[in-house]
Structure 1
Amino acid sequence: MSKNRMEVSGGLAGTVVFKPTDVIRIVPQGSFLNITAGTIQIIHNVSHYPKRIYFSYSGSSRELLSRIERTGFLDKDRCERDPEQEETINAIQRSGYFPIKKWPAIFVVGVWNLLILADITGIFGHESGRSGPLSFVDLSFLWTVCLLLLFSQKIRQILMKQEHSFAYIRSSLYFIVFVASMMLILSYGMLLT
Structure 2
Amino acid sequence: MQKGRSRTWLDDQGWWVGVIEFQPSAWSRGSYLNVGACWLWEEKDFLSFDAGYRVAPFQPFTNTAEFTSAAQALAEQAAAEVLALRDRFPSPEQVRALMSRHPRPGIREHMHAGITAGLAGAYDEGRRHLALAAEESHAAPWVDVLKQRCAELTPLLHPGGGFEAEIAAIVTRTRCAVGLPEWRSSLLIAPG
Q: Mark yes or no: TM-score above 0.5.
A: no
Larger radius of gyration: 1
TM-score normalised per structure 2: 0.26
Q: 1 or 2, which has the higher helix percentage?
A: 1
